[in-house]
Amino acid sequence: MIPVKVSLLLALHHGVLLFLTRCCEGQSHMIGPTEPVVAMIGDDIILPCHLEPAVDAVKLTVEWSRNDLKPRFVYLRRDGVELLTEQNILYTKRTSLSVSKLQCGDISVKLSTVKLSDAGTYKCLVPTYSAESVVELTVGSVSSPLIELSTVKDKVVLECKSNGWYPEPQLLWLNSEGKLISAEPTKTVRGSDGLYTVSSKVSVEKGHSYSFTCRVQQKNISQIKEAHIHVSDDLFMVQSDTTVHITINLVVCLISAGILTSILFIIWRQEQNKTDEREMRKEEHSQREAEEKNRLGDELKNLEEDLKHVQENIKTQNEKKEHLKKQRDKINSLLQEDKAEIKAITNDLENFSIFTNKKVLEKSRDDLKPRIKEHYELLLITDKLLEATEEIILQMTERRVKLEKDTGKIPKHLTDKQKKKKKTAELNKSEEGNNEVMSENTE
């Protein structure tokens, strides 16, 4: 009878795996990169982190965080469920973990569409093993330089410009032999998007043909971009008095023609301004409405998908909760049976007679004690799992309520905008009718 009960206990409780895992705590440690991870803006990259020796981390708590953010979580997973409610909004739908890799202890996180603000120090943590690792992410941006050529008397001026860099790059001019040459100081401008634009000029005297290279480099992200140009003697200008005279006459003619054209254009444009502006406002308004409608439609679709995912999670966790309750009742029932059995053995020992095998009774009682202890341990594990499951259900329910509320707002907003648009159209139509009546009265 006893072996059958033990087998039943092992089959009922998946939590024994967790119990065994906890017994092995402290054996694994975290392995991360020794050098910073470098990514370009817009890239999809992996922040590496894994447990060594490898263990199945699917059901473990996994945390990816940045201490300089509030909330600090970039990615959070507990009991096999992603907790989106505690994730920083900057990383919404941009982080993910591979379940198949988690089974091998690989808890590396994928970060999609890298932004400049993603640069920083990330911490990878598995609390079960008190194991953590730090990953430094460096974000960069590059672009190819362009060289523009202009002539001033007997000189040729080369200007090199490159925009969209991060971090701030260095601009160098090289001759055909690859040696640095003197140039004007580099001008650096940082735009509203946080990216740098650099430019520099170099003057070339008349002489033999030359080849020049403009090099823009950033050592922190190991990036170099170059542009090349060849300057020949026929680019240098030779001016004479006749050339100057012809140029002046040509300029005067062009200015006269330009003035006449401008006057005619201004007269025509004044007649068209009102019509053009009205049409332009209508077109811009229609375009903004279409963009707003598309944006709200996409937002509604995303909210509905999130709501469906949350509802499925709640259903799964409720099923798990019911299973744990049944399991707890079964363990309690077995525990009561063990207590009743040991009580019966104790009574037999107290009423001991020569016909009773005392040693057999004492052995049965001793065999029951470790089994009762094991039942208590399984009951404790079951209660903890039940408590954690109820906490997850509570979080998911709060998330579901918020999603349902947000999902209901969008259709109402679209309806209100449609009513407002209809009312505005009626007012415009009425105003146009009044203008026509006034025009007829004036005539």
Domains in the chain and their CATH numbers?
17-139 (2.60.40.10), 146-238 (2.60.40.10), 276-433 (1.10.287.1490)
Helix (H) or strand (E) holding 383: helix 358-442
At residue 14, the pLDDT reads 40
What is the value of pTM for the model shown?
Answer: 0.46
Per-residue pLDDT of the chain in tens (443 residues, 90 and over written 9): 334 343 333 344 444 334 334 434 446 788 989 899 999 999 999 999 999 999 999 999 999 999 999 999 999 999 889 999 999 999 999 999 999 999 999 999 999 999 999 999 999 999 998 889 999 999 999 999 999 988 777 788 899 999 999 999 999 999 888 899 889 999 999 999 999 999 999 988 776 557 899 999 999 999 999 999 988 766 655 443 444 445 556 666 778 778 888 788 888 777 777 777 778 777 877 888 888 788 888 888 888 888 888 888 888 889 988 988 898 898 888 888 888 888 888 887 777 655 457 778 778 878 888 888 888 888 889 888 888 888 888 888 988 888 888 888 888 777 887 778 777 777 767 766 665 555 555 55
At residue 109, the pLDDT reads 96
Instruction: Please name which of 320, 293, 324, 313 lies closest in space to residue 413, comparing C-alpha atoms.
Output: 293
Strands 37-40 vs 131-140: parallel, antiparallel or unpaired: parallel
Could you give phi then psi for residue 200, rounded to 5 degrees? -160, 150
Helices 241-350 and 2-12 cross at an angle (nearest 10°) of: 160
Asked, as a colleague might, if the bond just before 71 is cis with ω within 30 of 0, I would say: yes
In whole angstroms, how far apart are CA 227 and each of 167, 173, 211, 282, 435? Answer: 20, 10, 11, 45, 61
In whole angstroms, how far apart are CA 442 and each of 304, 431, 432, 435? Answer: 58, 17, 15, 11
At residue 199, the pLDDT reads 96
At residue 248, the pLDDT reads 59
- C-alpha 364: how far from chain center: 61
Asked, as a colleague might, if the bond just before 145 is cis with ω within 30 of 0, I would say: no
